[in-house]
Amino acid sequence: MNRPDVTPFFDHATNTWTYLVSDPDTGEAVIIDAVLDYEPKGARVSHNGLEALYSVVERRQLKLRWILETHAHADHLAGGHWLRDKSGAPLVIGARIAEVQKVFAPRFGMDDLPTDGRQFDVLVEDGATLPLGNLTIRVMHTPGHTPACLTYLIGDAAFVGDTLFMPDYGTARCDFPGGDAATLHASIQKILVLPPETRIFVGHDYLPTGRADYACETSVAAQKAGNIHVHDGVDARSFVAMRQARDATLAPPTLILPSLQVNIAAGELPPPDAQGRRFLRLPLSLAG
């Protein structure tokens, strides 16, 4: 099985892993789940992390072929729009992003936002393929966390987004609109039937008790043997009960409100007003 080069980048503010993945034979590359820097207390946006990431592409003289999103993130602002402007590489996401847009655009009063996914350049379905030099990117639809979640298979590596975390942390929450624990369990089984040596790269890492260092890489074999939520022997019914009970205790992600309204628009910030100012929206939920 072909083995791509994988360079991880960790965003400490949001515990997010971004990946630069390249074909060692041709230098063609993709970036998966890039992060736009956002400081919530001052509502400040910067491109420091994206510039550092792109400088590696340039220094290694890679050709950025695709910019991939595993889903519309609720915990960080996506950097794909900036990377597309910088490089000209097309921005790719799952075709069911339209369902996510239809749910969230009205919640943010984004009445002018088209909800057919057109903000992205390529909408992919389960089983689709994209070329990457001498490698092939295979698309696996793995919903449950959101309806549009994808896993990207590149050679011996699987980039699973939020579907699975490191074995000692478990699995993704399923309590967002369109999420479903039974669906997530079925999606995880699709990943766990891959060859046991398949490298799995996770979208986030949160240090559990007993581990001091952040990690991004595990394997199918390690997940089957030791994932605390979904190891071998955990059936769908038990998983759903665990996931629903755990989700009921979780607070919303810190950046959920700015993230969703930006990310359903492919990472593009709201348009400026006549004075050049941009505004994010803060919907209020009042009982009654």
Nearest Cα to Cα of residue 128 among 120, 136, 118, 117: 136
Nearest Cα to Cα of residue 109 among 269, 263, 261, 266: 261
Average pLDDT over residues 24-51: 96
Asked if pLDDT for residue 1 goes beyond 80, the answer is no
The CA-to-CA distance between both ends of the chain, in Å, stands at: 58
pLDDT value at residue 24? 97
Chain mean pLDDT for the chain: 96
pLDDT confidence bin for 84, thresholds 50/70/90: very high
pLDDT value at residue 246? 97
Asked if pLDDT for residue 285 goes beyond 90, the answer is no
List pLDDT tens digits, range 97-143. 999 999 999 999 999 999 999 999 999 999 999 999 999 999 999 99
> For the domain bounded by 5-255, which CATH number is listed?
3.60.15.10
Asked if pLDDT for residue 288 goes beyond 50, the answer is no
CA 255/CA 38 separation, integer angstroms: 9
List pLDDT tens digits, range 191-214. 999 999 999 999 999 999 889 999
pLDDT value at residue 148? 96
For the chain, give every domain's residue range.
Answer: 5-255
Neighbours of 193 (CB within 10 A): 11
